[in-house]
Structure 1
């Protein structure tokens, strides 16, 4: 044990990776439906490892924290600026008002309890489940005219209070929004009925089998058939066949035609005769039952040997933004192509005919490779798997953001700045939006963005935990178990206020109220619990814009609460 301690003290980088490994192993473990989550597990493991008194340069955590905040801004930038449009302003206004309560209630609780600025920042971070506040608040404290010992004491208190209040901040938020909030909106059954009515108003059918759209769990198939139906006695065009299939509620497309052992290029006016072989694409459930309209299914490996593709496409074209999924499907270039999924800010929204598609959204298209490629050019930018990240874009973004963030103004002799971390977040928003407008540069592939988000944050948290470890127990004794109860109040009041504002002030639909409230608090776990409770994906429609605003303001509140607590 002494040898291990000596090695970890001599090579602190090993202590960081040990903390990361154990935290990622423990975090997902569940007791019934509760789990610590990766970030809290990494923090607590770091505190344990920190008992070995391991010194780590603060530069290490700063590097990873800047990377994380830039990635956060980059991810939500398109949705943040979308909220500035007329259609998004009500949701943005709701988010700003609710987020003010997310600052005011923790601040009032801290004042009543006599907490210092470090304890207040930690309670804000944990009760509102926004881990980035730990870093932003620490940077702000470091910039204040305090003694080195005062700064260290305040900064060490932040992770202690975060750990105590985070548990209810996560589990309590999911319970409040999935159980208490529906009761405030007239009862769970009433909310479920309202969600189903919203789905119906958006054109959802019993099986979501609208033209050119499929549920994410449905499979698109390509199958070969021998044309034997008497309907083809005098020949029928491809267009006529597809219209006949559509008249029987079969959303199917002719992809290949073989006539006299020769495969011909498919076009609407190509005539199909009895005895021809054709390939039809569509949902598997539709393909199974249409034998009488065409003929029997055949095994024809040669005819079926052609490239099909499922492709993620970033919506970037101005003329596509604002269209519904049904309007997009009606475009000529979408013939034979299915929309499998739509994501905004990496949150999947329901694929329904009236779902609105905006710039910066990621949609998944399924169909013949040639047709999908052509459609991608009309919609925006094909996001094909790649290992390359535009590091010039990332590096310059963080530098520019940092330079802006460290600019300081003095109000009443108090230095105020966003700090380098706050600047990285703001520039991340701008650069993420620019990428959605001009997708030929600034690409960060999804796996790389995951590393920047998750590894960046957890490396930072690991160093915070290890550094705070020696004083963690004393800090916990100082705040006491009462902090858990105070944190629960600071968690509940903003959420319940959000539900009431959505119902009485903004008069949102119940699904939107639940989604907007969860989004403003950036609690994805609560969104999942809400969707399970109401048996509908529609709350996600209110999540994305408010999530982008919440990710921005909640982090900035880390600066504000420190200044308020002076």
Structure 2
């Protein structure tokens, strides 16, 4: 009876349903009473009632992926990432294109061979995409506004070139071949990988702005749009990823070298990452060293630490070890013979005569093992404003050195005469206790390297960006919106931009966590997308129409960014990676952006991306609407 009540076809479905659970337990208890305590008696009876997860064989495998979409996503991610690592003559798909291909192939096989149609809720893919966009915004925020100042007009022109060429190729290509109504709009939507264009096309049908010719129904036009979209979408996505990835190489540029030049250009010559940026709180190369000595010289014995700090300001004492114990530095201890002292100073000073006055060097691990931290401190004390670094020596004692100074997100030249203003950010390195004391004197809080990520700020910023993106204004039947993806990436840009001014803002974000959100978010989005697109590709197959859809879709996807890239480097003189990023934004291809970042080992291509992306999103919706009306 239990088997009759339960659906065998549902994977991992409980063996019993409803009140059958009590029946199973009561039956189990009765069986236990009537069975001799032989090996595996009761256990064997219980496990005899467990039904198979799914039927055996290949059909069962695809059925499993249908009933358990999480398994489909994880399998696509694993196999796609593995395939993306393989390269042929230095050319590889990358993890994003690999995931898309695996997902589409799995969903197409399931549909064609077994009649299983995969359909994963779009909310999952949308959320994953938003995680990617926010993480990306955090990465490029400080460079975004300098990018606007340096090449805003060029980015808009590149975006316009991509959009206009795509519209001309798809619309006139469909008309030249004589394709039925709806195909042109579907080609534009698929080749541009903007699903919303299908929506405005359907709007034109629903509100009567376009009336199908006699003998053609509204449903048929809608089906034509969906078929053209599915065919061109898959081909365009994969091929655009490859094109964008290798555009610099096609034109003879080294992507990694170009990215480094672009980073230097957009950083204004700064050598340290701005506060909140990846790698900000790392020590890097320094001429400052830490050494330990045994106190035997009379000039040091009987002197307090404060007295020695006045006599030898260039060689501060970080730690005092006596009898195998570390003394409390806040008590201003007096040095005794055979104490171990740890000093930190420039190598030149460590080799000077002052050091030789202390005594022989020690390798005692307790004295030498002094952790050196790096922290950003926002200057919040007005009495500090206007003083030079040389004058701030008293506030930066205890082995603390200034690694970099930032004002309004820009790094300042560092030297003894560098003046400090209220609101500046000082990057300090030294022992944690000394950094905390210095931060207190500077009127700020020491922001140290952390392994944590602040979820509160992430959720609030993404919420604000999402709500801004969904605001829609309808003009003449065409809905205009900034878009949730653009809204969320700008939220990330805003958070990182404000953090570069004040590192206390936005909470700590560990670079490893940010990088994971970026990579996993995009690839999970692509995996879900591939599951839903595959069945539509199958339904569009047949006749020579599919060949024309493929050719026009590929041309509409690849020719525009190729021409726009050339205009960027030749007409506007843009850096190859920056031009590539602008063309990618104009093409609205987020997976391609990830591909060029992988190829160039840099995220600088994302600087122009939001500008051309937002601009062409609006143009693409207008163009999609009119492509339907003009059909």
- The answer to whether the superposition gives a TM-score over 0.5 is yes
How many angstroms apart in 2 are the aligned matches of 1:526 and 1:357? 39
Aligned counterpart for 2:125 among listed residues 61, 66, 88 = 61
How many angstroms apart in 2 are the aligned matches of 1:167 and 1:417? 29
Q: 1:76 to 1:273 in 2, by over 3 A?
A: same
Match of 2:148 in 1: 92
- Residues 437-492 of structure 1 show CA distances to partners (whole Å, capped at 9, x for unaligned) of 58466665545434433222222111111222245585687333993797266236
Match of 1:534 in 2: none
Q: SS at the partner of 2:474? A: strand
Post-superposition offset of 1:353: 4.2
Residues 319, 326 of structure 2: 8 Å contact kept: yes
Residues 312, 364 of structure 1: 8 Å contact kept: yes
Q: 1:281 to 1:150 in 2, by over 3 A?
A: farther
Q: SS at the partner of 1:497? A: helix
Aligned counterpart for 1:418 among listed residues 471, 479, 482 = 482
- Residues 228-264 of structure 1 show CA distances to partners (whole Å, capped at 9, x for unaligned) of 7999899994465454xxxxxxxx7542356999977
Q: 1:119 to 1:350 in 2, by over 3 A?
A: farther
Aligned counterpart for 1:171 among listed residues 232, 246, 249 = 246
Post-superposition offset of 1:100: 1.6
Residue correspondence of structure 1 range 62-461 to structure 2 within 5 A: 62-77=126-141, 79-80=143-144, 83=145, 88=146, 91-114=147-170, 116=184, 119-120=187-188, 134=193, 137-144=194-201, 145=203, 146=205, 148-150=222-224, 152-153=226-227, 155-156=229-230, 157-173=232-248, 176=251, 178-179=253-254, 216=284, 222-226=290-294, 237-238=308-309, 241=312, 243=314, 254-256=317-319, 277-281=340-344, 294=356, 296-304=360-368, 306=370, 308-311=371-374, 313=376, 333-335=395-397, 336-337=399-400, 353=414, 366-375=429-438, 378=442, 382-385=447-450, 387=452, 389-391=454-456, 393-430=457-494, 433=497, 439=504, 445-461=510-526
How many angstroms apart in 1 are the aligned matches of 2:571 and 2:257? 11
Q: After superposing the two structures, state which structure 1 stretch, 373-382 or 30-39, moved more.
A: 373-382
Q: 1:203 to 1:492 in 2, by over 3 A?
A: same
- Bigger relative CO (Cα 8 Å, ≥ 6 apart): 1
Residues 165, 488 of structure 1: 8 Å contact kept: no
Aligned counterpart for 1:551 among listed residues 610, 622, 626 = 610
How many angstroms apart in 2 are the aligned matches of 1:170 and 1:356? 44
Q: SS at the partner of 1:55? A: coil
Match of 2:550 in 1: 479
Residues 73, 426 of structure 1: 8 Å contact kept: yes
How big is the alpha-carbon RMSD for the aligned residues of Structure 1 and Structure 2? 5.5
Match of 2:97 in 1: 40
How many angstroms apart in 2 are the aligned matches of 1:343 and 1:491? 39
Q: SS at the partner of 2:368? A: coil
Compute the TM-score of the two structures, normalised by the length of structure 1: 0.65
How many angstroms apart in 2 are the aligned matches of 1:332 and 1:117? 70
Unaligned runs of 5+ in 1: 125-133, 205-212, 244-251, 504-512, 532-539
How many angstroms apart in 2 are the aligned matches of 1:360 and 1:493? 41
How many angstroms apart in 2 are the aligned matches of 1:476 and 1:342? 60
Match of 2:620 in 1: 561
Q: How many residues align?
A: 489
Compute the TM-score of the two structures, normalised by the length of structure 2: 0.60
Residues 214, 340 of structure 1: 8 Å contact kept: no
Residues 96, 595 of structure 2: 8 Å contact kept: no
How many angstroms apart in 2 are the aligned matches of 1:45 and 1:178? 31
Residues 164, 484 of structure 1: 8 Å contact kept: no
Post-superposition offset of 1:527: 7.8
Match of 1:27 in 2: 84
Post-superposition offset of 1:72: 3.6
Q: 1:258 to 1:470 in 2, by over 3 A?
A: closer
